[in-house]
């Protein structure tokens, strides 16, 4: 080790820093499999005596975690698809249609994306109640479809602005209408960008907290984030239960991460600097 | 994140000298139909609610019953509300921990990974290290909050247990429960959450830097830190700009972390505008007052965003001018 520090000081430093970053994950995994007695006797730093899974299954049943997962998948999946469709339509008009005043339209979408949800939350809550959509997953789907599509419109507009005009003009000369050009040419040729947006919208919506917290009152409609956040906020859990909850909350994120790591990192870069 | 794109295209079109058959105005505008679904959706979900919120900020409304206009009285009250000022002061701490520190640390880490680790140890090691730093970014903030509120718990938390185990038991603290300490603990958590974002953006940005610049600087005898300062920094200025703007706005909006970690406590020590407006809306049902808080927050964010975007567009124009 000493030799390693002398020979590779930068790598060792970065390695230690990286270990510090993932330490919370590791320690959650270790403690999620401890029995309450084991935890109170040996504390949070020891390895479990035996593989205790009752904490996890107990928590799963207590919060009906399967239902929460399904709600999150349903909401995030619907939002991802609908927001991409909405973004594509708007971005087609801006990026390829070059509608008049598009700079302003685009500026509007960027600002809409930056608007704090706090400035929308009470009116949305009020309107959802009026429209009989309060405490429905549909209300959250509608709201996030629009919010996410603000970013999608912005990103896709700048991508489509650079789309080769010759391709579109050739198709138009061959008699394709605007609608056909969009779905047969523009969308297929921009599949990578659209894929990035799908992944992003899914994960972002999955992680959202404030609006789902306000809009989804009943247990049957809550997402994973909201259910875990509310439980934690109420401080109703002991240490082993907390770890079981944390593990169940962390797992989907890790799965997304492993599945989409390349898309995520590529997408962030694309989103940051077009 | 630039609004300059369409203008550039227009310039490019003009340069083509109209050889490409540009669509006539009438045809061009019929694309407006494709804007319709987005426009309607935005009107219903963003514009109307935003207008309602702003209007309510001038009322004395409890969420039920009749609206009574009260003019600027909510804003006057805010101005004298110590809680309000404290929440914005805490926002500045959040900007420090969610934008400034991650940008600086992210820059150093990205440069170290990119031009040192990748060069000497290969891309696999680099990818693994980058993934470790990025992982907290994919976590729902509610889950990150659960993890950290347990780690930072006073009695059976992992951090205090760790301090005891390494013989530093005297450093044990009630990390989130001590009013003098809670804000710093939350800041530490937010650094952990945020660091991966600038790191990944900067590493992507570094890929487009011409390696010859580094070689030239090296030949001139510039050490690593000087190269970082004189080559890397200017080259990825656009990324730094975007990251700072993006993270500052995220810091001003921070809600989930506060809700899960401290609920603004102890004694308001970690209250932030976003959480403050939430409790005013939904716990005290002072809708008018809550709307005023969130309106002030919105104005600050929009001004910041406009100034930031404008500065960036100007910087790009300068660069273009230089290139031309």
In this prediction, residue B15 carries a pLDDT of: 41
- Does residue A224 sit at the B interface (CB-CB below 8 Å)? yes
Nearest CA in chain B to A149: B38
Question: Over the range A201-229, which residues count as b (16 or more CB within 10 Å of their CB) and which as e?
Answer: bbbbbbbbbbbbbbbbeeeebbbbbbbbb
Contact yes or no for A93 and B32 at CB 8 A:
yes
pLDDT at A258: 85
Nearest CA in chain B to A97: B31
CA B190 to the chain's CA centroid: 11
Local confidence band at A229 (pLDDT 50, 70, 90 cut-offs): confident
CATH number, domain containing residue A225: 1.10.3720.10
- pLDDT bin (cut points 50, 70, 90) of residue A269 is low
Residue A190: inside a domain, yes or no? yes
Six token digits for residue A33:
């499999």
Contact in structure between A72 and A206 (CB atoms under 8 Å): yes
Give a yes or no: residue A56 inside a domain: no
Residue B143, Cα to own-chain centre: how many angstroms? 19
Q: Does A29 touch chain B (CB under 8 A)?
A: no
pLDDT, tens digit, 9 for 90 and up, residues B140-193: 888 898 889 889 988 778 888 888 888 887 787 888 888 889 999 999 999 999
Is A229 in contact with B260 (Cβ distance < 8 A)? yes
Structural tokens at position A122: 């009470």
Q: Which residues of chain B are within 8 Å of residue A118 when distances are taken between CB atoms? A: 253, 255, 273-274, 277-278, 293-294, 297-298
pLDDT category at B29 given cuts 50, 70, 90 is: low
- Chain B: give the shortest CA distance to residue A187, in Å: 14
CB-hemisphere CA count at 13 Å for B289? Answer: 19
Q: Which of B64, B23, B16, B48 is nearest to B281 (CA)?
A: B64
Closest residue to A116, CB basis, from B37, B139, B297: B297
Within a domain: residue A187?
yes
Q: Give me the domain span that covers residue A191.
A: 64-236
In a domain, residue A152? The reply is yes
Q: A107-111, B17-21, B119-123 — which is least confidently predicted?
A: B17-21
Name the phi and psi angles at B130, rounded to 5. Answer: -60, -40
Residue A263 lies inside a defined structural domain of this protein: no
Average of per-residue pLDDT values in chain A: 86
Confidence of residue A274 (pLDDT cuts 50, 70, 90): very low
Cβ neighbours around A66 below 10 Å, total: 10
Picking from B6, B256, B298, the nearest residue to A119 by CB comes out as: B298
Asked if A215 is an interface residue toward chain B (Cβ–Cβ < 8 A), one would say: no
Substitution target from A118, A124, A222 for chain B, most B beta carbons within 10 A? A118
Residue among A143, A253, A272 whose CB faces B239 most closely: A272
Which phi and psi angles does A90 have, rounded to 5°? -65, -45
Residue of B3, B128, B148 lying closest to A103 (CB–CB): B3
Cα three-residue angle B88-B91-B96, rounded to 5 degrees: 145
Q: Give contacts of A 79-108 with B, CB under 8 A.
A: 86, 89-90, 92-94, 96-100, 102-103, 105-107
In a domain, A90, yes or no: yes
Please check the confidence at residue A235 and state whether its pLDDT lies above 70: no
Q: Is the confidence at residue A265, as pLDDT, over 90?
A: no
ipTM surpasses 0.90: no
* Closest listed residue to residue A213, CA positions, set B140, B182, B189: B140
pLDDT of residue B11: 43
Q: Tell me phi and psi for residue B69, to 5 degrees.
A: -70, 140
Cβ atoms B306, B219 nearer than 8 A: no
Mean pLDDT of chain B: 84
Domain presence at residue A253: no
CB contact under 8 A, B42 and A146: yes
Q: Is A209 domain-assigned?
A: yes
pLDDT at A193: 84
Greater model confidence, B278 or B111: B278
Residues 6+ apart with CB under 8 A from B276: B83, B84, B87, B264, B293
pLDDT at A210: 93
- Selecting from A11, A92, A96 the residue whose C-beta is nearest the C-beta of B121 gives A11
Looking at the structure of chain A, the number of domains it has is 1
Closest to A115 measured CA to CA, from B41, B301, B72, B62: B301
Total-model pTM: 0.86
Query: b/e string for B202-234 if b means 16 or more Cβ within 10 A?
Result: bbbbbeebeeeebeebeeeebeeeebbeebbee
Predicted local distance difference test score (pLDDT) of residue B149: 87
The answer to whether A147 faces chain B, any CB pair under 8 Å, is yes
């Amino acid at each position: 080790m000493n030799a390693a520090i002398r020979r590779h000081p930068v790598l060792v430093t970065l390695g230690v820093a990286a270990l510090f970053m993932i330490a919370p994950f590791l320690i959650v995994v270790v403690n999620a499999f401890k029995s309450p007695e084991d935890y109170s006797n040996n504390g949070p730093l020891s390895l479990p005596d035996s593989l205790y899974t009752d904490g996890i299954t107990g928590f799963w049943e207590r919060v009906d975690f399967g239902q929460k997962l399904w709600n999150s998948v349903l909401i995030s999946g619907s939002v991802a698809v609908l927001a991409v469709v909405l973004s594509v339509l708007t971005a087609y008009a801006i990026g390829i249609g070059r509608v008049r005043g598009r700079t302003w339209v685009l500026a509007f979408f960027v600002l809409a994306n930056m608007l704090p949800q706090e400035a929308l939350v009470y009116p949305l809550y009020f309107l959802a109640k009026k429209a009989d959509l309060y405490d429905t997953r549909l209300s959250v789907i509608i709201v996030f479809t629009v919010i996410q599509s603000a970013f999608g419109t912005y990103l896709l507009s700048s991508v489509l602005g650079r789309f080769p005009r010759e391709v579109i003009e050739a198709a138009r000369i061959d008699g394709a209408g605007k609608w056909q050009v969009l779905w047969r040419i523009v969308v297929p040729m921009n599949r990578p960008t659209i894929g990035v947006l799908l992944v992003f919208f899914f994960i972002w919506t999955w992680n959202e907290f404030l609006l789902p917290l306000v809009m989804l009152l009943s247990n049957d409609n809550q997402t994973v984030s909201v259910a875990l956040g509310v439980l934690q906020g109420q401080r109703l859990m002991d240490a082993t239960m907390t770890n079981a909850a944390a593990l169940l909350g962390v797992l989907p994120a890790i799965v997304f991460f492993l599945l989409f790591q390349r898309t995520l990192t590529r997408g962030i870069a694309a989103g940051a600097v077009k | 994140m630039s609004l300059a794109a369409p203008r550039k295209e227009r310039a490019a079109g003009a340069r083509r000298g109209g050889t490409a058959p540009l669509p006539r105005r009438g045809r061009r505008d019929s694309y407006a139909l494709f804007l319709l679904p987005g426009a309607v959706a935005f009107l219903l979900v963003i514009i109307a609610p935003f207008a309602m919120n702003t209007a309510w900020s001038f009322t004395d409304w409890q969420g039920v019953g009749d609206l009574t206009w009260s003019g600027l009285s909510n804003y006057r009250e805010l101005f004298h509300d110590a809680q309000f000022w404290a929440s914005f002061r805490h926002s500045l701490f959040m900007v420090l921990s969610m934008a400034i520190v991650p940008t600086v640390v992210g820059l150093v880490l990205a440069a170290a990974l990119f031009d040192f680790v990748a060069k000497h140890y290969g891309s696999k090691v680099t990818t693994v290290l980058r993934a470790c730093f990025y992982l907290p970014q994919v976590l729902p903030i509610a889950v990150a909050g659960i993890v950290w509120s347990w780690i930072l718990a006073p009695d059976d938390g992992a951090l205090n247990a760790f301090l005891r185990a390494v013989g530093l038991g005297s450093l044990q603290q009630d990390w989130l429960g001590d009013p003098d300490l809670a804000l710093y603990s939350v800041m530490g958590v937010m650094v952990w959450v945020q660091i991966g974002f600038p790191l990944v953006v900067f590493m992507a940005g570094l890929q487009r830097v011409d390696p010859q610049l580094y070689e030239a600087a090296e030949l001139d005898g510039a050490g690593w830190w000087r190269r970082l300062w004189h080559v890397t920094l200017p080259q990825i200025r656009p990324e730094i700009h975007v990251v700072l703007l993006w993270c500052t706005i995220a810091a001003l909006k921070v809600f989930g972390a506060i809700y899960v970690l401290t609920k603004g406590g102890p004694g308001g020590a970690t209250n932030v505008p976003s959480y403050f407006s939430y409790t005013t809306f939904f716990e005290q049902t002072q809708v008018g007052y809550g709307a005023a808080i969130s309106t002030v927050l919105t104005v600050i964010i929009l001004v910041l965003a406009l100034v930031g975007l404008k500065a960036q567009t100007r910087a790009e124009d300068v660069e273009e001018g230089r290139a031309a």
